[in-house]
Amino acid sequence: MAANNTIRLFDLQLATGCTISPFVWRTKYALKHKGFDIDLVPGGFTGIVERTGGFADRVPVIVDDGHWVKDSWLIAEYLDEKYPDRPMLFEGPSMKVLTKFIDGWLWATAIRPWFSCYILDYHDLSLPQDQAYVRESRQTLFLQGRKLEEVQAGREARLPLVPPLLEPFRELLKGTQWLGGDNPNYADYCALAVFLWTASVAKTPPLHDDDPLRDYIDRGFDLFGGLGRHPGMHDLFGLARPEANAA
């Protein structure tokens, strides 16, 4: 049982102190959903192995009364297995399958294009001591050696292509308050994490002012006393519409 109802969580932060990692974001929400207080261990991209005493090279990592767990999905499963008397993150195995689908779809539809639109912002917002590593690792691991500047260039033309692709998500939310029904669950935290990551790095907004997703995103960011609000986050709404053709 978590001592003092508190679980330690290793964070991944930008220079503003804002969490960047979508995996850490959804773990923050999962811990709050289960009713825990979070003992947040600050830190950026470099030094994860040292901070976690060699346990992991990626975050999130939690420590629950001396028990270490890594990987956001495994952490969520652990929390439900260890604390079944608290609100459940997953309601049965079919929900896990559907959550993976929604998560995979949102990554392919939103995070992938937005990653290329915000990768230089992502670098510039990182802690100064992380920037060389962020540049080198992102260029090598994700961008086939292309420079961050080159990848982000021309985003004005690419950003407007994403909102129409989110229409199935808007349609889904017309009929329900949350993916979890009347209350949010882990599917919501996975979906919200996509927008939380984006708000942490997007120096120019990705969504239009009147996007119906705003209601869901705002309610999600406000959960648990404004868990998703941080002064370092950027406004997601305000993407300019192309000029209407002159008559």
Ligand X SMILES: N[C@@H](CCC(=O)N[C@@H](CS)C(=O)NCC(=O)O)C(=O)O
Task: Give the binding range for ligand X (CB under 6 A) out of 55-63, 93-101, 115-123, 153-161.
Answer: 55-63
Task: Give the binding range for ligand X (CB under 6 A) out of 56-64, 93-101, 151-159, 182-190.
Answer: 56-64
In the shown chain, the binding pattern of residues 119 to 148 toward ligand X, with x for contact by CB under 6 A and - for none, equals ------------------x-----------
Report the 10 Å Cβ neighbour count for 53.
Answer: 10
Measured from the CB atom, the residue of 60 and 228 that comes closer to ligand X is 60
What minimum distance in Å lies between the beta carbon of 242 and ligand X?
A: 32
Pairing of strands 61-64, 6-10: antiparallel
Measured from the CB atom, the residue of 74 and 98 that comes closer to ligand X is 74
Residue 206, φ and ψ in degrees, nearest 5: -95, -15
Considering the rule CB under 6 A, would residue 96 count as an interface residue with ligand X? Answer: no
Scored b (16 or more CB within 10 A) or e, 218-238 reads eebbebeeebbebeebbebee
- Within 58-87, which residues bind ligand X (CB under 6 A)? 58-60, 71-73
Considering the rule CB under 6 A, would residue 229 count as an interface residue with ligand X? Answer: no
Q: How far apart are CA 126 and CA 168, in angstroms?
A: 33
Describe the strand order of the beta sheet including 37-41 as a list of residue ranges: 37-41, 6-10, 61-64, 67-70
Considering the rule CB under 6 A, would residue 45 count as an interface residue with ligand X? Answer: yes
Q: How far apart are CA 200 and CA 182, in angstroms?
A: 27
Measured from the CB atom, the residue of 48 and 95 that comes closer to ligand X is 48
What minimum distance in Å lies between the beta carbon of 142 and ligand X?
A: 10
* CA neighbor of 198 nearest in space, from 137, 110, 73: 110
Report the 10 Å Cβ neighbour count for 164.
Answer: 8
What minimum distance in Å lies between the beta carbon of 147 and ligand X?
A: 18
Measured from the CB atom, the residue of 103 and 211 that comes closer to ligand X is 103
Considering the rule CB under 6 A, would residue 186 count as an interface residue with ligand X? Answer: no
Measured from the CB atom, the residue of 12 and 239 that comes closer to ligand X is 12
Token representation of residue 76: 């969520």
Q: At what angle do helices 72-82 and 22-33 cross, to 10 degrees?
A: 10
What minimum distance in Å lies between the beta carbon of 45 and ligand X?
A: 5
Q: Residues in the site for ligand X, rule: CB under 6 A?
A: 12, 21, 23, 45, 48, 58-60, 71-73, 137
